[in-house]
Amino acid sequence: MIGQIISHYKIVEKLGGGGMGVVYKAEDIKLKRPVALKFLPFDLTRDEEAKERFVHEAQAASALDHPNICNIHEIDETEDGQIFICMAYYEGETLKKKVASGQLPVTSTIDIAMQIAQGLARAHEAGITHRDIKPANVMVTNRGEVKIVDFGLAKLAGRPKLTKSGATLGTVAYMSPEQAQGVEADHRSDIWSLGVVMYEMLTGQLPFSGEYDMAMMYALVNSDPQPVRSLRSVVPKGWIYYDLGEFDAGRIAISKLINRLMEVAPKREPYHKQYHSFYLGLVNAKLGQIDSAKHHLEVTKSVLSLAEREEIERPKFHHDLLAAEILLAEGSPEDAIITSQKIKHLQLSMSMSIPDAFVYNLPFREDIAARAYQLEGNLDGAIAEYERLTMIDPQNNDRRMIPARFHYRLANLYEQKGLTAKAIARYEHFLNVWKNADPDWPELNDAKARLARLKGRAAK
């Protein structure tokens, strides 16, 4: 087909192909832009079910308007009846190609995973389940932008199933147990698959293995994956924090998050949805996307009555924390501090029933209060909050990672106040605790540079 003109598109080169289509790069002659054309394979043109599924891919994807979902320009048909979709063309490579080279940096893994999660959240809001999330269906542009492609297996909620009775859609290695067992799949299957993708990005291998499809299906239904930390020594024990610019975008515990994503527990569905919205809302708030953050806040609020009846306190913590972050993002530090006080009281009650909850949650509350004081220009107030927080330093390595970053922030504040000796001590403590952390993290290099500069000044 190279060189052919179809409609107003000139085929330039073949990009790839799969069971549901062959993709070509083409030039839009009218608009003078590169595009990607996906054609239904010739051997499937007589399959009306495959055609219908292919059309629904375009309908599902074109209804979504999100930066992390591939743009669909139009759907058309050649003179001989071959259907094709015209999509945006992106310079970059598939995530499959990236992971083929081995483990990805922790920061890259979180960045890509969060962008996939944002795109999936938009699709799920529209009642669309992708059903085939895998590295081959994720494009990473040269700018680092993630695009979810190929909604060929998408199922629109409320529409007739397009698969034959008993047929299983999806790629086995990334399937959820529901898909493997032939049970009706919904958005939770996408979340499971995202967990598998994250696992592969971090470890360079799949969580479940088998010499053939049925063995793989048996493994994912009946076995547990090898812990990430046993395969990736550079991943610190405990919570990993991810920065977006100068904002704190939230805390993600890699190992625990993957386990949550790959957990199938329908009866816990309301809490899983709240947990998902909680993290997305935090990122939105830190990026100044207030309307999106408030939308996620409403989702976290929707389960509070149920959680109260079941005496589960974590959802209330999630709601109050996100509410405080939004107030901070809106420039209302005083209200953020007041709201954060609720989080503190909640933690104290939680710590009585969950032994590690006090240490596990405290940094959130103290950090909000400290940043609020900074926004007010009250550095002494911020220092007091971080000093109170950094007194917690359990011997357990999993928890020691929690206050470590706050030693870094406290050192920054001491430096701003001209307290050189205290700043040096805090930077040294931070670097000692994080000596085995991912070397890509910006705080490490920044702390080293600041420490060297302060010591140089002190020696003069």
Catalytic site residues? 132
The 3-state secondary structure of 243-272 reads EECCEEEEEECHHHHHHHHCCCCHHHHHHH
d(CA 381, CA 285): 23
d(CA 100, CA 79): 39
CB 436 within 8 A of CB 404: no
CB 325 within 8 A of CB 317: no
d(CA 460, CA 449): 17
d(CA 294, CA 314): 19
d(CA 366, CA 405): 12
Q: How far is CA 239 from CA 34, 398, 426, in A?
A: 42, 8, 20
CB 287 within 8 A of CB 331: no
- Three-state secondary-structure class, residue 9: strand
Closest by CA to 133, choosing from 210, 221, 198, is 198
